[in-house]
Amino acid sequence: MSRARRIMVAMSGGVDSSVAAALLAEAGHDVVGVTLKLWGGASDSGCCSISDVDDARRVADHLGIDHHTFNFEDDFDARVVAPYVAAHAAGRTPNPCIECNRHIKFARLAERAHALGFAHLATGHHARVVTGPDGARRIARGVDSAKDQSYVLAMLDQRRLAGLELPIGAITKNEVRAIAERLGLRTAHKPDSQDVCFITSVEKRSGFLAERMSFTPGTVVDAEGTTIGEVDAVELVTIGQRRGLHLAGGTAPRYVVDTDLAARTVTVGRRSELFDDSTAVDDVTWSDAPEWGPVLVQTRAHGTAEPGVVVDAGDGSAVVAWDEPHLRVAPGQTVAFYRDDLVLGSGTAV
Amino acid sequence: MRVHLDHAATTPLRPEVARAMESVHALELGNPSSRHTAGRRARRVLDDARDEVADVLGVDGSEVVFTSGGTEGDDLAVHGVAAARPGRVLCSAVEHDAVLEAVRARGGTTVAVDARGRLDLGDLERHLVGDAAVDDVTLVSVMTVNNENGVRQPVVEAAAMVRELSPGTSVHTDAVQAAGWLDLRAEAAAVDLLTITAHKLGGPVGVGALIVRGDTPLTPRLRGGGQENERRSGTQNVAGAVGLARALSLAASERDEAVRRVAALRDRFTDAVLASLGDVHEPACPDHRDRDGVVGGTVQLCFGGVESEALLFLLDEAGVEASAGSACAAGALEPSHVLAAMGVPAELARGALRISVGRETSEDDIDFAVGVVVDAVSRLRGVKAA
């Protein structure tokens, strides 16, 4: 065993972070579990429900480690929920889990951990932290490719990667559950959380947003500009969407190829019209030094990475030139750059 | 070393109280409602405890309703009166959640406090007869001592005002934090309902009393066997009632000396922290002098540039048990509604710390805690402790 470290583990009450804490405690480290209270409103799952906090606390008790709850509701509201609503209002498709990682888990919590004397922060993400020959630390894909979460960690830079530990990235989800079972953890068979933690399955995205913004009704037009339908909310329509437009008749499937909030229109067309030669991104960050040039690019949490060339466009923006035409990326989505299994950096589709 | 400085949350069970309760268990008592010998014996022990509680508070034994504790007492007072005589309920903005939530559930209104956390009697008057007047006020609830900062409220004055301006209105006081330190006979004489609980004064958790004076209208919350003179059904907790009575009597007999001692320890803590650290605020006593209006061993400080959660983490790690505001069901700290009502800026309220000294606290405990607090605050501010 390497030297015992003092590690703060973010415990959501799920099986992955339970096992992350268990592995570190078993290895003899000085581990403290922390659950974040992020949302004061209704919630089905995630860090916001009392039963999940209870699960995290009981797992910590079982492991014999201390457990604390930190209330970051204010920051979560300001840095995750409000921008989520604002992005929808601007017609983009935001990813709040990534913003939570960027601003809360790996910023606010990391700073709190540091202030409390913890040089190391651990989470239950399925990804690995590897150190290259140059000493730079990078996120690498988890060994369980079906569960890999490197994409949602692609914004982490050297400062945030320092002291980060991802204990379960080296094992599969089945192994995680087997360990939880072996240790008798109450979370061993808990289902994975799926959805945005602050939106309930009852209210859904549309209900949540309806209370916080006004929707723009719009018309659905085809490539020739002929109106063929109507939508209640242009803001809730996403590029590539095929269902839920209630279009009458028609033969071939029609996909959303463009949305224009100002013109109150949603344009539909054939799937072939959805492919682009390039994708513009902004807010580009690099894990270490910029790596312009040929990369693999992933545009969805569970998508595959496709080859392209990332070109500096100045002011933190870039253009990805795809080797092969690529499905249009909805504005607001994270675009992650890889070399093999290593995360190089990321940006946000414009 | 571990030092418990969170007596406003709960106190250790006093050995004398534990012994009194053990002797009750040894009696093999029946159910106080049973007619047989063991039941009648239980009834006698219960009524002796009832009279003991009544004596300390200067009320009649028939006016003591045993409950499960402070929250039940507050809930019964607010809902019980509002159900018996429908109307609006008012309470101070700094009440414990047990009162505040009951008042909210009844659609009630809060009355302001001043910058030092004391009820604004002028605002109470406005709510009774002035421009904010509410029709048909059935109950006014004002706590005796605040749980976050120890500030004593003008309960007797508020009750007199209600009597004069709104004669049909009942007055309740949550005296949960006061009963260990104050002679409550004046409050008990002035109000219609008064809540106490045992575990804040060296008694057991799970038992308290609501004093219901004279013919105050009160609809029970728990109906069933009609115990407690049909005001609170449920088999009585005889040993608990004895524990409450014993703890209350002990507190009364030792009151003057104990109050002087904990106040001195509280001031020793506060003054030492103030002497070692800058940007420390004492909202209930901004000039750090004349803490006569603050009862018992409680002090609330706000540390600029520090977050309570982080501070409490470091204090706990170093062996000092303290608190800040109240925690939600998930165990996370919630912003203090008391500090907000006092007009303390949210930024400063984020750095709140409550220390509450108890009977068994020593000067060594205080000096240890001062060192830990000064170190932790300095560390969180990113400066080396002097």
- pTM, entire model: 0.91
Quick one: pLDDT at residue A51?
A: 85
Spatial distance between the Cα atoms of B77 and B197, rounded to a whole number of angstroms: 14
Closest CA to B208 of B197, B193, B222, B221: B197
How does pLDDT run across B100-117, given as a tens digit for each residue? 999 999 999 999 999 999
- Chain A residues with CB under 8 Å of a chain B CB are 35, 37, 50, 53, 57, 68-71, 73, 112, 115-117
Quick one: pLDDT at residue A43?
A: 65
Judge: A50–B330 Cβ closer than 8 Å, yes or no. Answer: yes
How many A-B residue pairs are in contact by the CB < 8 A criterion? 34
How does pLDDT run across A298-308, given as a tens digit for each residue? 999 988 999 99
CA-atom Rg of chain B in angstroms: 21
Q: Does the pLDDT value for residue B24 go beyond 60? A: yes
Active site residues of B: 328
Query: Which of A56-60, A62-66, A197-201, B84-88 has the least mean pLDDT?
Result: A197-201
Kindly indicate whether the ipTM for this predicted assembly is greater than 0.95, answering yes or no.
Answer: no
Judge: B329–A50 Cβ closer than 8 Å, yes or no. Answer: yes
Quick count: other Cβ atoms within 10 Å of Cβ B121? 16
How does pLDDT run across B306-353, given as a tens digit for each residue? 999 999 999 999 999 999 977 766 677 888 999 999 999 999 999 999
Mean pLDDT of A336-340: 97
Mean pLDDT of B343-367: 96
What the block records as the tokens of A163 is 């002291």
- Cβ atoms of B205 and B12 within 8 Å: the answer is no
Q: How far is CA B359 from the centre of its chain?
A: 16
Judge: A37–B330 Cβ closer than 8 Å, yes or no. Answer: yes
Residue A44 — very low, low, confident or very high, per pLDDT cuts 50/70/90? low
Spatial distance between the Cα atoms of B207 and B73, rounded to a whole number of angstroms: 10
Q: Does the pLDDT value for residue B378 go beyond 50? A: yes
- Cβ atoms of B122 and B116 within 8 Å: the answer is no
How does pLDDT run across B232-291, given as a tens digit for each residue? 999 999 999 999 999 999 999 999 999 999 999 999 999 999 999 999 999 999 999 888
Quick one: pLDDT at residue A42?
A: 67
Could you give the residue ranges of the DSSP H alpha helices within chain A?
15-26, 50-63, 73-76, 82-89, 96-100, 109-115, 158-161, 173-182, 204-210
Closest approach of B182 to chain A, Cα-based (Å): 35
Residue A201 — very low, low, confident or very high, per pLDDT cuts 50/70/90? confident
Judge: A50–B313 Cβ closer than 8 Å, yes or no. Answer: no
Residue B133 — very low, low, confident or very high, per pLDDT cuts 50/70/90? confident
B309 and chain A in contact, CB less than 8 A: yes
Residue A47 — very low, low, confident or very high, per pLDDT cuts 50/70/90? very low
Residue A249 — very low, low, confident or very high, per pLDDT cuts 50/70/90? low
Closest approach of B152 to chain A, Cα-based (Å): 30
Judge: B331–A57 Cβ closer than 8 Å, yes or no. Answer: yes
